[in-house]
Structure 1
Amino acid sequence: MRWFGFGFNAFQQIQTQNNPEYSGLDAEERLSSPTELKGHVNRDGRCFEFSQIRASWSRRASLHSDDAGCVCVAGFVNDSCRGVIKQSRGCRDVFISESHLTLAFLDRVECWDLQSSDETPSWTMGIDTQSKSSAVNLPLVPGGYIASKPPFFHSLSPHMQAKSLALGGEHVILLTATGAVYTWGQGSHGQLGHGGLLPEEEPRTVEALWGMKMSSVSAGGWHSVCISDAGDLYVWGWNESGQLGLPSQRLRKTSEKKTDQQEGELSQNSSTHQEEVFISIQAFPALFDVTPLCEVKTVSCGSRHTAAVTTSGDLYTWGWGEYGQLGHQSFSSSDEPQRVEFFRAQQLHVVGVVCGPWNTFAAVANEEGLAPEYPTKPLNKHGE
């Protein structure tokens, strides 16, 4: 599997060396076009591809696809942590924050301080390999989940039957085995989906989604998304940068201002725009069509942008794009989903996406042709 990255690159967490195609400050800090990540080459000259990517603001952790498993770290870290982490041999899953690297093994979970040169983890937890609930899907672990900073372990009731969990900037979203969604934490931007802006100290079910089985969840800085079993996308929370794909007043005003400056006169449509309905906070989950012609397969949230892969193998992005994290070969933001044309132009089939706060990483299947231009949902007997 090949991986491409774009967006914030000030610490070389995407592109580890200067590319002659780029020049100036933008070449170092911002990548607006997908750039292929290079796998680690071992002493024997064998190159291992990455099976998984996790990203924080200034760092990227890549899990190698070889049988033994090991983790490579790029970005803002000290010399002892840069490159392949020797203590990660046999690692099965990885999670990275601005302060710590979490490694999951078959029998234990370890948290390593990225600013320390110690050769022992700052925290470790054993896993009962005989237990049926011993599966690890970081940051979810048996009995609870791992936070991005101490105290690392937070317990969860076994009655919740947690399937996956995502950490936002100030909130948590959890998916149960039955497809129910729970959220808790700060709710000042509507990111909890309960209809208000109040915090929740304990997990609370998102009642607006009750009765609809969800298959995956993701959390951004202050917004949340989930996908139903039917491939429908639901969004809620902050929409200041269009990260929900809903009309953003800030983006529209910025666009009008640029148009006015270019034309040297006031926009003729200003009165029309004032009558539009803008959404800064969506406190309840809203059904959102990325494209009406195919379903959403997987989704990921950055701090203020969102990326989704469709069943057609296309990648769509929207929201804040000032570091090129939308991948449209520009540094513009958008409150409407746009397909990343790079992958279709290269006849590449996108199979997964992972967002860092200010960047995006897309997984592409090796030697797999692109799906038809517009694969549709099953037709009814009338061909509709």
Structure 2
Amino acid sequence: MRWFGFGFNAFGQIYVHDKLIKGECSDAVKQVKVISPTELASHVDRSDCCLKTDGQIRASWSRRASLHLGGDSCVCLGGFGAVIASESCGISMKETPGCKDAFISELYLTLAFPDRIESWDLQKKEKTPSWSMEIKTESSGPPLNLPLVPGGYIATKPPFYRPLSPQLKAKSLALSAEHAILLSASGAVYTWGLGSHGQLGHGDLTSEEQPRAVEALWGMPMSCVATGGWHSVCISDGGDLYVWGWNESGQLGLPSRGLRKAPQQQSSQQAGTPCQDASTFPAEEPREGEKHEDVFISIQAFPALLDITPSCEIRAVSCGCRHTAAVTTTGDLYTWGWGDYGQLGHQTLISSDEPQLVEFFREQQMRVVDVVCGAWNTFAAVVKEEVACS
């Protein structure tokens, strides 16, 4: 399996130029925007494990964590603070053998071991984790994946451990900066946190302090959940994709006035603030005298079925801050939403409110098997195989 990345690369999360490794950190060398899918290990030969292509990828805005499973399992970082440092943000390779899972935010890297959970402060050069807790692996049921841990979950900031009711029987959990979406063992979906953009899916814009079932999905078992800056998605057992929340950049794949009315207008968002508040963007209300034939959606407060392709089911989905990526069961990758950094993989900087096939992988006769979105970039895992779906 090989990993490719595209999109925001100001800190070398995707492509590390030889000159950048040598310390020549000019803006021209940094290659801020990678608009064409680029193999993570194809441009520079380094002995550390950060650029190997096996295992899994975890991504935040400025960093990428590579999780290598197997006998020599370890975790190492690429991106901010890890380009020319021999040790990634103080975390040495000798500290991570035996790690089974990882979860990264802008401030902390959380590692799961068979007997403990550790959170490392990425802003410090300490040789010990800033927080840890012992865990007892439950003998019954499948193993939990971060941020879930026995009895609760690990948050992106202190207090790290947050309890969950055992009645929820959590199977997986996706966290954004301000809201959460949980999948139960029965396939039910629960959300809580900030609801100002309809990202909780309850039909209103109110927030929830405790997990609340998304009633619109009740009775339709789901198999996967994901969350972006202010939007949420899930995949049903039948391979259907449901979306809800904010659609200012077309991240739901629904008609966006901002994209339809001004397709060439670029976002004024600046690097350094991965998910700005909605108040910094214009509302999508109809102007006086404007025709009402076209229906535009700024906020979708209820889950909506998104038909990506009639001939293929969806097997995996991931959300960036304002873009979304989905993999079909036949190995095609579709992306949509904000594209100012090339994070859609269409080799342009154009945003889209319609799911579009990433042609690169089909042209290279590669089958996409997984996708992971950072805030402003995308990582795809592929195998060499001709895609049959048309």
TM-score normalised per structure 2: 0.86
Structure 2 unmatched runs, 5+: 20-25, 267-288
Instruction: Give the CA deviation at 1:54.
Output: 0.5
CA distance in 1, matches of 2:351, 2:362: 21
Q: 1:170 aligns with which of 146, 153, 178?
A: 178
Alpha-carbon distance in 2 for matches of 1:280, 1:146: 31
Instruction: Quote the offset at 1:280 in angstroms.
Output: 0.2
Equivalent residues of 2:144, 2:172 under 8 A apart: no
| Mean CA deviation greater in 60-69 or 296-305 | 60-69
User: Which residue of structure 2 lines up, in the alignment, with residue 38 of structure 1?
Assistant: 41
Deviation per CA, 1:215-245: give whole Å up to 9, x if none.
0000000000000000000000000000000
Post-superposition offset of 1:273: 7.0
Structure-2 residue corresponding to 1:15:
15
- Within the candidate set 55, 70, 74, 2:74 is matched to 70
Cα 1:144–1:130 shift into 2, 3 Å: closer
Task: Quote the residue 1:264 is aligned against.
Answer: none
Alpha-carbon distance in 2 for matches of 1:224, 1:38: 31
CA distance in structure 2 between the aligned counterparts of 1:134 and 1:126, rounded to whole angstroms: 19
What does the per-residue CA deviation read over 1:115-152, in whole Å, with 9 as the maximum and x for residues that have no partner? 11211111111111364368330111111111111111
Structure 1 letter corresponding to 2:88: C
Preserved CA contact (<8 Å) 1:135 1:141: no
Question: Cα distance 1:342–1:211, how it changes in 2: closer, same or farther (>3 A)?
Answer: same
Q: Kindly provide the CA deviation profile for residues 174-220 of structure 1, in whole angstroms up to 9, marking residues without a partner as x.
A: 00000000000000000000000000000000000000000000000
Q: What secondary structure is seen at the aligned counterpart in 2 of 1:285?
A: strand
Deviation at 1:42, TM superposition (A): 5.0
Would the aligned equivalents of 1:169 and 1:303 in 2 still touch at CA under 8 Å?
Answer: no
1:245 corresponds in structure 2 to 253
* Alpha-carbon distance, 1:51 to partner: 0.9
CA distance in 1, matches of 2:168, 2:157: 24
Q: Distance in 2 between matches of 1:134 and 1:350?
A: 25
User: Which piece of structure 1 moves more, 226-235 or 129-138?
Assistant: 129-138
SS of the residue corresponding to residue 349 of structure 1 reads strand
| Aligned equivalents of 1:9, 1:227: Cα separation in 2 | 29
Gaps of 5+ in 1: 259-270, 375-384
Deviations 1:266-319, CA, capped at 9 Å, x for gaps: xxxxx9975200000000000111111111111000000000000110000000
What is the match of residue 152 of structure 2? 144
What secondary structure is seen at the aligned counterpart in 2 of 1:250?
helix
Query: CA separation in 2, counterparts of 1:41 and 1:65?
Result: 19
Which one is further off, 305-314 or 114-123? 114-123
Change over 3 Å in CA distance of 1:245–1:18 after alignment to 2: farther
CA distance in 2, matches of 1:42, 1:278: 50
Q: Does 1:81 align with 2:81?
A: no
Q: Who is 1:187 aligned against? A: 195
- Distance across 2 between alignment mates of 1:273 and 1:107: 61
Post-superposition offset of 1:169: 2.8
Give runs of aligned pairs for residues 1-384 of structure 1, distance below 5 A.
1-17=1-17, 25=28, 28-38=31-41, 42=47, 48-77=52-81, 79=85, 80-81=87-88, 85-129=93-137, 131-132=139-140, 135-255=143-263, 275-365=293-383, 368-374=384-390
**Deviation per CA, 1:24-69, whole angstroms, max 9, x where unpaired?**
84961100110001299658x9x85331100000000001144220
Residues in 2 aligned to 1:315 and 1:257: alpha-carbon distance in whole angstroms: 26
- Kept after mapping to 2: 8 A contact 1:41/1:48: no
Task: Name the TM-score, length of structure 1 as normaliser.
Answer: 0.87
Residue in 1 aligned with 2:280? Answer: none
C-alpha distance in structure 2 between counterparts of 1:74 and 1:256, whole Å: 32
Q: Distance in 2 between matches of 1:335 and 1:290?
A: 12
The aligned amino acid for 1:7 is G
Task: Give me the whole-angstrom Cα distance separating, in 2, the residues matched to 1:241 and 1:167.
Answer: 20
- The answer to whether the 8 Å contact 2:233/2:241 transfers is yes
Q: Per the alignment, in what secondary structure is the counterpart of residue 124 of structure 2? A: coil
Q: 1:90 deviation in Å?
A: 0.8
Closer, same or farther: CA 335–77 of 1 in aligned 2, 3 Å: same
Greater gyration radius: 1
CA-based RMSD of the aligned residues comes to: 2.4
Contact 2:156–2:177 (8 Å) recurs in 1? no
Q: Secondary structure at the match of 1:342?
A: helix
Residue identity opposite 1:34 in structure 2: P
CA contact (8 A) 1:134 1:142 kept: no
Name the aligned partner's letter for residue 15 of structure 1. Y
Distance 2:11 2:264 in 1: 33
- Provide the rounded CA distance (Å) in 1 between the counterparts of 2:265 and 2:143: 52
